[in-house]
Structure formats: structure tokens, C-alpha cells
Amino acid sequence: MNALTTPNAVNAVLIRPRAVLALVLASVAGAAAYCWPLVVTADSTIAHGRDAPWVFALVLTMVLAVVLAEISGGGMDSKAVAMLGVLSAVGAVLRPLGAGTAGIETVFFLLVFGGRVFGPGFGFVLGNTTLFASALLTAGVGPWLPFQMLGCAWIGLGAGLLPRAARGRAELAMLAAYGAVAGLAYGVLLNLSFWPFTLGPGTTVSFVPGDAVADNLRRLVAFTLATSFGWDIGRAVTTAVLILLAGPTVLASLRRAARRAAFVPRP
């Protein structure tokens, strides 16, 4: 029995062995799409071109489509689909209320709660569908969207894999800490996805193809501190505060809905 099918969790989405494999492969592909600037050689064509965001966005889109089809093609019943639709719609409405304003993010706490209550598979799908719906709502479709979707999918997946023993205040503290760390990590990952193309060569924070990993990481950290760190801190604080404030009510409501739904994934 693995962590994705732990018996004391409410798994609204059944994760079968093939789906686990698909999730692992998607995460590997996603890590490659984010981290390729750290390992590319100096004479690589992609390191000096402007097509890389589109290439990796296309690859991620296809990978996510395969994973979502694998997870939903027998692992979700109609009640799980309905719950997914409701939470995705709520998240799509919440996100524009704070995104881009001093780093305030009003959707991450919902992804954490969804993964925590309904399991890692549901959290992964919820992260994707929420960001996709939000992008359609706000006309935010572009090469950055697959990176945002995968980042939020990992947040929902990770929330579903957190230890199940914690309850009450200990659970809220754990979820708040996780939400804060996830918010910071999300910002760094998104920076990594576009940082190589944002600046021209020659600055102290520019991407240098083929340079040592440690040196490019140092420039990435400097770029993050100089540009987005204030927004990342705002995202982390907002997520943690919303989890602490809304946690008792939202967790109780979602768990009550899960008990009444009695999810039975299709065989």
C-alpha cells in the first residue's frame, strides 16, 4: 500500500498503478521543462533561441493531457467529477480577486484543502483544472499556462500526501506551513521557466548557457530577490493566513461532503 492509496484518506480519485506511473513520468517531464536551463550546454540551439517556452509548453500540455486522461478514465465517478467542477469554478473565481496585487493569492489555500480532503489524485487534477478555468476566465492563456498548471497540480498532489495523523490545530499548522513553502517554491519555479529569456546577456542576474549549475542558481536567486520575492512572500503569507482562518470551516464542510458522497470510483 503506497501513500497515494492510503486507507485512512478519502480518495475521490482512484489512483491505479498506471496512473501512478503516469504521474511520476509527468513530474519528471515537468522537472525537465523547468530545470533545463541549469543543464543545457553553451552551444545548444535551444539555449540561444526564443522558441523554448513554446516547445516546453507544448510538451507539458501533451503530458498533462495524457496524465489527466489516465487518472479520469476509470478512477472518477460522477460525484467526484461534480465536486471537481465546483471547486475548480470556485478557484477560478477566487484567483482574479488577488492575483497580481502585492503577491496576494486567493486560490492556493483551496488547492491545499482539496488535496488534503479528497486525496492526492484529486489534488493533482484540481490544480490543473482550476488554473485552466481561471486562464479562460481572465484571458490568461499563453506559454506560461502549462507551467502554472503543473505547479498548482504539484501543490494539490503534495497536500494529499501529507501525514494523515494530524488533526485539529496541529493539522492547520502543518497545512499553513506547507502552503507557505509551496507558495515560495511556486514563485521560484515560474521564474525558472522564463528567466533565461527575460534579460539580455551581460547583467549580473542573466542566464549564462553552459555555465556551472551553482553559478546559474546563484543568478536565479538574485533575479528572484530583485524581482518577484516580495510577491512570493505575499503569496506565502496570504496562503498561510487563509488556511488558518478558513481551515476549520472549509475542512469540516469538505469532509462532510466527502462522507455524504461516499465516492466509489468506477472499476
Alpha-helical (H) ranges within the chain are 17-35, 45-48, 52-75, 78-94, 108-118, 120-138, 145-160, 168-198, 213-227, 229-261
Say which residues have a Cβ less than 8 Å from residue 215's Cβ, sequence separation at least 6. Answer: 208
pLDDT in tens, 193-202: 888 887 777 7
At residue 194, the pLDDT reads: 84
Rounded CA-CA distance 88/128 in Å is 9
Q: What is the pLDDT of residues 214-250, one digit of tens each?
A: 998 999 999 999 988 888 998 999 999 999 999 999 9
The domain ranges of the chain are: 8-261
Is the pLDDT at 12 greater than 80? The verdict is no
Predicted confidence at residue 101, as pLDDT, reads: 60
Percent of the chain exceeding pLDDT 90 equals 32
E strand or H helix that includes residue 40: none
Packing angle between helix 108-118 and helix 120-138, nearest 10 degrees? 150
pLDDT of res. 8: 43
Query: Does residue 167 have a pLDDT over 70?
Result: yes
pLDDT category of residue 6 using cuts at 50, 70 and 90: very low
State how far the Cα of 81 lies from the Cα of 13, in Å rounded to an integer: 9
Q: Does residue 2 surpass a pLDDT of 50?
A: no
Contact 64, 146 (CB under 8 A): yes
**Burial zone of 39 (CB within 10 Å; 0-12 exposed, 13-18 middle, 19+ buried):** exposed
The dihedral through the CA atoms of 195, 197, 203, 206 has a sign that is positive
pTM: 0.85
Q: Given this model, what pLDDT does residue 38 score?
A: 83
Phi first, then psi: what are they for 67, rounded to 5°? -65, -45
Topology of 8-261 in CATH?
Arp2/3 complex 21 kDa subunit ARPC3 (1.10.1760)
Nearest partner of 193 among 167, 218, 224, judged by Cα = 224
Query: Comparing 77-81, 111-115, 192-196, which segment has the lowest mean pLDDT?
Result: 77-81
Q: Which residue has the higher pLDDT, 92 or 7?
A: 92
Which of the two residues, 164 and 171, has the higher pLDDT score? Answer: 171
